[in-house]
Structure 1
């Protein structure tokens, strides 16, 4: 339930369109539902503008299905689950047939109603191997109602590939740069644009990459201004943050 729906509910109670008991019943599950193994936060939509997102890694299929069903039954917004295997998706789809699986992003989405496409987020990957993390960022941002464009395989090993796409770089309101190996692409992009750059280090790389640590340190030590860095392989975090930045200054109806 978003703020608009909550206001409508309170007005309905005030105008005696529904009984007080019915209104209380609807509000009772608003803070959270206790499933025993999980406390599903239904207040997050009101606090942060988007429902709780299900992180599937480490959870059983039964737990994920129960959480997803609870969210779908209580929210009118898009529902997102991250780090989900196809096996998990197939279990979810038995209970929620309209759930959609995005293989590269490892994400499950339940789309609700007409989709917003606000602003302009550009997601850039250094290499093809970085695309799964980039796709997690893309799907997250799209689910949250943003217009998202992709620009893949434009790493510094062939910088002409990036420079040939300057119009796309300049048009974006916020940019997400996903890179493994040494992670230099974020600094290059930030040196070209006057918009926020969210850098995502990936675990792609040979031994001295240390599972993404080298890319993380390069991004943290960037000499370019305007670079913020999320955790290794955290495409979801980048997509969520980009959405918050992208909608700044916009008034929602």
Structure 2
């Protein structure tokens, strides 16, 4: 590829090729190289991206919801051939039970609904804790999805639960722990006000996660989502409703920047 790029640049230098044509040629070569280098595993009903860990630092994560037990079992067995640490979200006890005989060290966290194996895990982001904060106890399942995701990817996670605005004095008791974190994930349902409150008290990035916890006018998390999107606190980003995995992954990416 390097020789072909050199040829394109030389042609541009001699005036034989326009800048646009040179750029297009280089982009085409790069795309071709990416296609040639991608390694996948073709299963009966899934294609596993075996280069995901090399490109993004962690293997492809299995989204179990919407997949049959048989499909999930086949995918996990394939992942187990290539990786020591991997995970699947929205998992089920039935998948875990079926996989235990063949993958004895596979684990299942019922709160977060994450299936995972952690055999070669190392702490990658030492002295850069991620704080996962919830407004209420009912938000913990989504928070645990975020916390365990971040942990599996190599982060130290501090859990700070049930410190919502209905009893805001609880938040101030844990404020020093929150301020010491390098990234803060705030998980809240109902009206989602906690993200704005925390956003006004810390200097680090805030990842807000609206949850579907709440009565009818919460509209299954839409009220919290809109509240967080309209936050007047600076430095608050928002992921989708109940998307603990997305928050944990984003926190890891931010935490890994040097």
**Which TM-score band applies after superposition, normalised by the shorter structure?**
0.7 to 0.9
Find the aligned partners of 1:36 and 1:101 in 2 and give their Cα distance: 25
Q: State the match for 2:228 in structure 1.
A: 219
Structure 2: unaligned runs, 5 residues or longer: 1-35
Q: State the match for 2:89 in structure 1.
A: 82
1:203, 1:233 within 8 Å by CA — same for their partners in 2? yes
Deviation string for 1:197-236 (max 9, x for gaps)?
Answer: 0000000000000000000000000000000000000000
Deviation string for 1:8-55 (max 9, x for gaps)?
Answer: xxxxxxxxxxxxxxxxxxxx9961111020000001111111100001
Q: State the match for 2:41 in structure 1.
A: 33
Q: Which of 121, 138, 155 is the equivalent residue of 1:146?
A: 155
Q: State the match for 1:189 in structure 2.
A: 198
2:184, 2:206 within 8 Å by CA — same for their partners in 1? yes
Q: How does 1:163-182 map to 2 (within 5 A)?
A: 163-182=172-191
Aligned residues: 221
Find the aligned partners of 2:203 and 2:86 in 1 and give their Cα distance: 33
Deviation string for 1:65-113 (max 9, x for gaps)?
Answer: 110111110124x110110111121112232111011110000110122
Q: Closer, same or farther in 2 for the Cα pair 1:60/1:29, shift >3 Å?
A: farther
Q: Which of 157, 168, 181 is the equivalent residue of 1:159?
A: 168
Find the aligned partners of 1:209 and 1:68 in 2 and give their Cα distance: 36
Find the aligned partners of 2:186 and 2:179 in 1 and give their Cα distance: 14
Q: State the match for 1:243 in structure 2.
A: 252
2:229, 2:238 within 8 Å by CA — same for their partners in 1? yes
1:199, 1:228 within 8 Å by CA — same for their partners in 2? yes
2:211, 2:242 within 8 Å by CA — same for their partners in 1? yes
Structure 1: unaligned runs, 5 residues or longer: 1-27
Q: State the match for 2:14 in structure 1.
A: none
State which drifts further: 144-153 or 59-68: 59-68
* 2:77 counterpart of 1:69: yes
Q: State the match for 1:95 in structure 2.
A: 102
Find the aligned partners of 1:85 and 1:34 in 2 and give their Cα distance: 24
Q: State the match for 1:6 in structure 2.
A: none
Find the aligned partners of 2:168 and 2:143 in 1 and give their Cα distance: 19
Q: State the match for 2:33 in structure 1.
A: none
1:117, 1:142 within 8 Å by CA — same for their partners in 2? no
